Amino acid sequence: MGILKVVEILASSKTSWEDAAQNAVAEMGKTVRDIRSVNVSNQSAVVVDGKISEYRLNCKVTFSVER
C-alpha cells in the first residue's frame, strides 16, 4: 500500500486559472516527486481598473511518499 500526502498551496497566474494550476504543479515539482493530482478548492481573481490582473487558486496537491 502506498502512502500519499496532501499539501495545500496558493497558486497564481497573470494569464488564466488553468495556467495557475500548471504553476502549482511546476512549483511543487521542484521539491517533491510523483505528484498524483491537483484538487482546486477555490478560484479568485484580482481586479485592477475593471480588468482581471491576476488569477488565483487554492490547490490541494497530492503526491506519493517514499518509504
CATH number of the domain where residue 60 is located: 3.30.1660.10
In this structure, the dihedral spanned by the alpha carbons of residues 37, 42, 47 and 51, taken in order and rounded to 10 degrees, is 60
Confidence of residue 67 (pLDDT cuts 50, 70, 90): confident
Q: State the maximum Cα–Cα separation within the chain, in Å, rounded to a whole number.
A: 52
Q: Which domain holds residue 31?
A: 3-65
User: What pLDDT shows up at residue 1?
Assistant: 62
Q: Which residue has the higher pLDDT, 1 or 9?
A: 9
Instruction: Count other C-beta atoms under 10 Å from residue 7's C-beta.
Output: 14
Q: Residue 2: pLDDT above 90?
A: no
User: What pLDDT shows up at residue 49?
Assistant: 97
Query: Into how many domains does the chain fold?
Result: 1
pLDDT per position as a tens digit, 25-52: 999 999 999 999 999 989 999 999 999 9
pTM of the model: 0.85
